[in-house]
A and B are shown apart, each in its own frame.
Chain A
């Protein structure tokens, strides 16, 4: 019983880890707090569920979900770079619009996928447990992302988040880099949503609420735990952060907290993590200790 619950936690950590990689791209690399995620996650689920529910191939549904995620990211990017709406607001607008779009796609608030063929069931029939499927997918995506971020385009995207003035004076169109980063991130988020729907056996229009905060929690936890410099380690940290985050939720539920309290707990955890430097410096002052050296932003 406990073992299967732990495996379930592992599977969630892995499948939501794909979403966390997306949040990592926008939040850590582009320095763009992208709230599109709360809409593109259920968008991926909606597209995949709709295709599967109507007898389409789950693979096709998942691919279409990824493409839909790309358009969600492009929309936010367009609002931000071309219409000059602030990044935060652009994401909120897309997310809000996506709520209606997702309902349109699904035709109702919830699509059950029980007894429908899904990617998870297809691999399950061939002896591959969901956690193996998610682990392999996540590992491949992580390695592709690491390689991508070390290409010329990857450099330009990272520099756009780090120092726009500098990379523009190197002849890079920073608007294009933001569009690439945002669409890539939301591709990953929508893929994660599509897989979650197939894993849990339904898509629900409300399943996106709090996704971005969960993603942030994973990214921040990973950054706090994995302090080895280097790109490969940061993305590894995100995955570990996602596992830790799902583990913490599992522990909270075991301690008797109601599942409905989880969003509150997540929000509190993210607040604590984000304000960590404030806490540690005031603690250091209390203890008369030396102030911590200013952190170099990780790659």
Chain B
């Protein structure tokens, strides 16, 4: 589904200072894989998602999605293959536009834009159905601007938008991290449900080690721009957070210590 080979991405600040964000990353993702990605700050997790989505160009290596070489495609060209949800609930939706307008744009993902009405009655019926599943009452607020919604509601809508056109790949970048615990749990359950129903292939970055082991079927750990651990079921199934930390120490010879990594 997704094949990444020898990926390298170096950031430069223009005055000769360079930071290697991705260093020879190889990853083979099978259809239906739900991969959680963990690692300390600056390990390259978000950069990995961003180069897959095409936000950054890579310096070396190749990215193939569903048999298509997307390495040199700009972000908007590969958008039909990818759904994304970001950490900041504000990024995934257009605040001044209504719920139905946002959904309509997501539904027409990468189709040729036309001079025809952006939302039809048929679309509306479909949006109502999809929104009803969220259980947030948004199906009755189609014509309200998204800016009026709470962060959790916006994130739920973003998740719906990211998956509405059945992308080949769903990229989640700490999409519950900015929410309060209760809302985060709601979004987490929703993610699980949508992914299972649609049999999506997912890459999910998280700082929550427990969540990383609970969700999905595979966990990769990154450090200093490299994938240092690739855990798959069944081996992963019995792993505890402590064992995971021990594994990291065994590989890197140091503790995975970071105030943002949740150990509980």
Contact = CB atoms under 8 A, between A and B. Distances in A.
A24 B134 CA distance: 36
A151 B95 contact: no
Nearest to A157: B113
Interface in B76-117: 76-77, 79-80, 82, 84, 86, 90-98, 101, 104-106, 108-111, 113-117
A70 to B, nearest CB: 17
A156 B105 contact: yes
A237 to B, nearest CB: 15
Interface string B36-76: 00000000000000000100000000000000000000111
Contacts of B75: 168-169
Contacts of A299: 96-98, 145
Interface stretch (A5-13, A75-83, A103-111, A170-178): A170-178
Contacts of B110: 170-171
A55 interface: no
Contacts of B108: 152, 170
Give the most central of A148, A158, A170: most B CB within 10 Å.
Answer: A170
A158 B84 contact: no
B120 to A, nearest CB: 11
B117 A159 contact: no
A8 to B, nearest CB: 36
B97 A159 contact: yes
A165 B91 contact: yes
Interface string A20-33: 00000000000000
Contact of B96 (A152, A153, A173, A296): A296
Contacts of B106: 170
Interface residues of B, number: 38
Contact of A168 (B76, B115, B118): B76
Contacts of B114: 151-153
Nearest to A180: B113
A258 to B, nearest CB: 40
A151 B117 CA distance: 4
Given A167-B105, A169-B53, A170-B110, A155 B97 contact: yes
Given A152-B108, A169-B79, A296-B147, A162 B96 contact: yes
B10 interface: no
Contacts of B92: 166, 169
B262 interface: no
Give the most central of A154, A158, A166, A299: most B CB within 10 Å.
Answer: A166
Given A151-B118, A170-B109, 8 more contacts: A151-B115, A152-B108, A153-B115, A159-B97, A163-B90, A170-B79, A171-B109, A171-B111
Top 3 A-B residue pairs of the complex, sorted by shortest distance between their CB atoms = A171-B110, A171-B79, A162-B94
10 contacts: A152-B114, A153-B113, A155-B104, A156-B113, A162-B95, A167-B105, A169-B84, A170-B109, A298-B96, A299-B96
Interface of B: 53, 74-77, 79-80, 82, 84, 86, 90-98, 101, 104-106, 108-111, 113-119, 145, 147-148, 161
